[in-house]
Chain A
Amino acid sequence: NAGVTQTPKFQVLKTGQSMTLQCAQDMNHEYMSWYRQDPGMGLRLIHYSVGAGITDQGEVPNGYNVSRSTTEDFPLRLLSAAPSQTSVYFCASSYSKPSDSDNEQFFGPGTRLTVL
């Protein structure tokens, strides 16, 4: 299994540009999430999905869209990039809720995004 994969690893955008961060998992997980990691702030949930066709907002959803047309893929779209979106983005997936006793949440390697 490749686990959770993310592309690209690095990206530089200009203010106002749009782009899509890709996330895919090959573990047949229902739960997928996007987080951003900022210095001194830990990880914050952007959007999540509990299955194909079902998405919802997390803690910091403004400026981002998601879709979940398949179980495997969960892309994150930046509609009009802003410098405040400079961050490291992590995608995660799990079979069920992270607190379920036999479940584990798997993270991708991250995408480092800089918006100028």
Chain B
Amino acid sequence: GDSVTQMEGPVTLSEEAFLTINCTYTATGYPSLFWYVQYPGEGLQLLLKATKADDKGSNKGFEATYRKETTSFHLEKGSVQVSDSAVYFCALSDGGRISNFGNEKLTFGTGTRLTIIP
């Protein structure tokens, strides 16, 4: 079945450092890919997404490119801030095309906790 593998956390960086959080996936067909962020005490929020190969999703200085050849969707940011401290989840969706569910099924990675220190 579909699966998402994220780099283990926690990750601790200094402010203004470069961030990469790795995400690779296994899926049949052509999934859509997502990054969600969970700030302390809150629910998940969509950070960015890409729905086809070579698409680049971007938001709030974060970027991720859908790489079909390496089945990856790594999250990057050039200069992190303390306010970026959160848990980041990579996820994929089969679009409801091949799953057993009438709805679209999101498959999530285990999450990566990021802490930025001033």
The answer to whether the Cβ of A42 comes within 8 Å of any Cβ in the partner chain is: yes
Q: B93, A98: Cβ atoms under 8 Å?
A: yes
Interface residues of chain B, those whose CB is within 8 Å of chain A, are 4, 31-32, 34, 36, 41-46, 49, 51, 89, 91, 93, 95-96, 101-111
Measured in the bound complex, the distance between the Cα atoms of B108 and A33 in whole Å is 14
Partner of A42, one of B42, B89, B101: B89
Closest to A59 in B: B105
Closest to B104 in A: A97
Q: With a CB–CB cut-off of 8 A, which chain B residues contact A45?
A: 101, 105-106
Measured in the bound complex, the distance between the Cα atoms of B51 and A110 in whole Å is 27
**Known pairs A42-B110, A99-B32, A101-B51; A48 contacts B103 (CB<8 A):** yes
Q: With a CB–CB cut-off of 8 A, which chain B residues contact A56?
A: 101-103
Partner of A50, one of B45, B46, B102, B107: B102
Interface residues of chain A, those whose CB is within 8 Å of chain B, are 4, 6, 31, 33, 35, 40-45, 48, 50, 56-59, 90, 92, 97-99, 101, 104-110
Q: With a CB–CB cut-off of 8 A, which chain A residues contact B102?
A: 50, 56
Q: With a CB–CB cut-off of 8 A, which chain B residues contact A98?
A: 32, 34, 93, 104, 106
The minimal Cβ–Cβ distance linking B106 to chain A, given in whole angstroms, is 6
Q: What 3 A-B pairs have minimum CB-CB distances, sorted nearest first?
A: A107-B43, A42-B108, A99-B32
Measured in the bound complex, the distance between the Cα atoms of B96 and A57 in whole Å is 14
Measured in the bound complex, the distance between the Cα atoms of B105 and A43 in whole Å is 11
Partner of B44, one of A31, A41, A50, A107: A107
- Best-buried of A43, A92, A109 by chain B (most CB within 10 Å): A43
Q: With a CB–CB cut-off of 8 A, which chain B residues contact A104?
A: 46
